[in-house]
Amino acid sequence: MSRMEAITKQKLLIVEDDLGLRRQLRWAYEDYDVTIVGSREEALTALRAEEPAVVTLDLGLPPDPDGVSEGFRTLKEILKLSPDTKVIIASGHNDRESALIAIAGGAWDFYQKPVDIDELGAIVKRAFHVHAIEAENRRLMAAIPGQMSVLGGLISGAPEMLKVTRMIEKVAPANVSVMLLGASGTGKELLARGVHDSSPRRKGNFVAINCAAIPDALLESELFGHEKGAFTGAIKTTEGKIELANGGTLFLDEIGDIPLPLQVKLLRFIQERVIERIGGRKVIPVDTRIVCATHRDLKAMVADGSFREDLYYRLAEIVVPIPSLSERPGDAVLLARHFLKSYATENGGLVRTLSSDAAAAIELWLWPGNVRELENRIKRAAIMAEGKYVTPADLDLVALDDNGADMLNLRTVRDAAEHGAIARALAHSDSNISATARLLGVSRPTLYDLMKHHGFSA
C-alpha cells in the first residue's frame, strides 16, 4: 500500500486478542487503513496515534490482574478519549446481555461471535458513514456564523425539527414578525432566542415576557412602562419590556392571553413603532422586533371575537409550526441522555446512563408534556436512582397505561408501540429503509405504509 493510499483510506482500529481472528479480520478489511491490537494499552496508544473513526472491540479481552473486565474498561476509556468514535463491540454467542450493557454504556453497535464477515462489514461501513455525516455537520456548524445559535440551545436530530431550524435561518435576517405555534414544553422560547441570535439584532437585548403569567391589570405596565405617579405605587418612571428590547427582540409568550383592550394598544405599537407609557403624553419611537408564541388556536379565537384579526395578521407575518416531542422520532432518547448527563454532573451522582429498557420506555411514551415533562422526569431520576443505570421505574414509566384511560384502547396502545419501534429502527439503521425493514421484519412497501401512517418522512 502506498503512502497516498494510506492517507486516503478510512482508519479502522481492531481490538482483538485471538490471533487467528485478527488475521481473518485484516484480510476482510483491505479497503480500510487497519490497525490491529490485542490489549487495552495497545488500543489506547493506537487511538491517540491514529485517531480512527471506527473501532471494533472484543468484550472478551482477558481481565486485568484485579479481575476487572478489560473489554468494558477499554470501551469506557476509548469514549472518554474520543467521544465521537464509533465503537462496535463483539460479544460471545450467549452473551447478549453484556452487549446490551455496552450499548447502554456508549457503544455504537455490536456483533456476535462467531463472526459473519459480511454482516460485520455492513455494520462497519454504516459506522463510517454515520461518523462522516456527524463530522460534516460539526464542520458546517463551525463554518457558518450563527449556525450554532439558530436552535438557541435546542437539541434535536429529527428531520421535523431540522425543517423548523432551516425555516428560522431564512426568516431570522428579515425584519418581520414571527409567530411560533406549538404545544407547551416544545421549546418555543429557545427557538425565539434562536431567531434573535441569528438576526442582525443579536447585539441588542432579547426580552421575554409570558403574557399568561401576569395579571391583566399589570400587563400593560409591564409591556409599555409607566411614568412616576401614574398610579398608586408608581414611585418612579419605569421602562416597559418593549422599550427595554429597543434595537433587539421582544418575545411575547402565550400571546393569545392578552386581553382585548391591550390588543388595541399593541397593534398601534406594531403599526406605528411608537409607544406611550402609562400616565405619559410623550410619544417614544421604538425599534423592536416581535416574536410571539402560543399553544392556542388563534384563528378560532379570531372567529369567535376574542382575538383581533388585524393584530393576528400583524403578528403572523411568518408562522412556524413546532412539532411535539412525539412527532420527533429519536429526539426523546437523545434529549434524555443530554439531560441525564447534565443533571448527574450537577448533582454529583453516579448515574450516567439509561438502561436499554428505559430507552425503550422513553421511545414508547407519548410525552403529553413534551420536552418539559421529559426534563423533569430525568432530573428526578438523576437524583433518586439507586444504581448506575436509570430504569423505567426511576422515570415512572413502568406501564403504558400510565398515560391514562386512553391507553386502555388496544388500537392506541398498538399505534404507540408501532411508532416507537419504527423510530428506534430508523435511528439504529441511520434511516436506511432496507435495513429498517429487515430490523422490523416487514417488507419495504409495508414499511412505507407504516411510516406514512405514523407521520415519518420517507
For the chain, give every domain's residue range.
3-141, 147-323, 328-454
The pLDDT of residue 349: 61
Q: Do the beta carbons of residue 99 and residue 91 sit within 8 Å?
A: yes
The pLDDT of residue 109: 84
Taking the C-alpha atoms of residue 280 and residue 437, their distance in angstroms, rounded to an integer, is 68
Q: CATH topology of 147-323 equal to that of 328-454?
A: no
The pLDDT of residue 416: 65
Is domain 147-323 in CATH 3.40.50.300, yes or no? yes
The pLDDT of residue 352: 64
Q: Do the beta carbons of residue 325 and residue 371 sit within 8 Å?
A: yes
The pLDDT of residue 153: 67
The pLDDT of residue 330: 79
Taking the C-alpha atoms of residue 361 and residue 380, their distance in angstroms, rounded to an integer, is 16
- Can you give the pTM of this predicted structure? 0.57
| Helix orientation angle between 70-81 and 40-50, rounded to the nearest 10 degrees | 20
Taking the C-alpha atoms of residue 75 and residue 88, their distance in angstroms, rounded to an integer, is 10
Is domain 328-454 in CATH 1.10.8.60, yes or no? yes
The pLDDT of residue 23: 80
Is domain 3-141 in CATH 3.40.50.2300, yes or no? yes
Task: Specify the pairing of strand 86-91 against strand 109-112.
Answer: parallel
33: β partners: 11
pLDDT per position in the chain (458 positions), as tens?
Answer: 444 444 478 999 999 888 888 888 877 788 889 999 988 889 999 998 888 999 999 877 665 555 557 788 888 888 888 888 899 988 775 667 777 788 877 888 888 878 788 888 888 888 888 888 777 665 654 443 333 333 556 778 777 888 888 899 899 999 999 999 999 899 899 999 999 999 999 999 999 999 999 998 899 999 999 898 888 888 899 999 999 999 999 999 999 999 999 999 999 999 999 999 999 889 999 999 999 999 999 999 999 999 999 999 999 999 999 999 988 877 888 888 888 888 877 766 665 678 777 887 888 888 989 999 999 999 998 888 877 778 888 898 864 444 444 444 455 556 667 777 787 777 666 678 888 888 888 888 888 888 877 777 66
Q: Do the beta carbons of residue 164 and residue 322 sit within 8 Å?
A: yes
The pLDDT of residue 269: 95
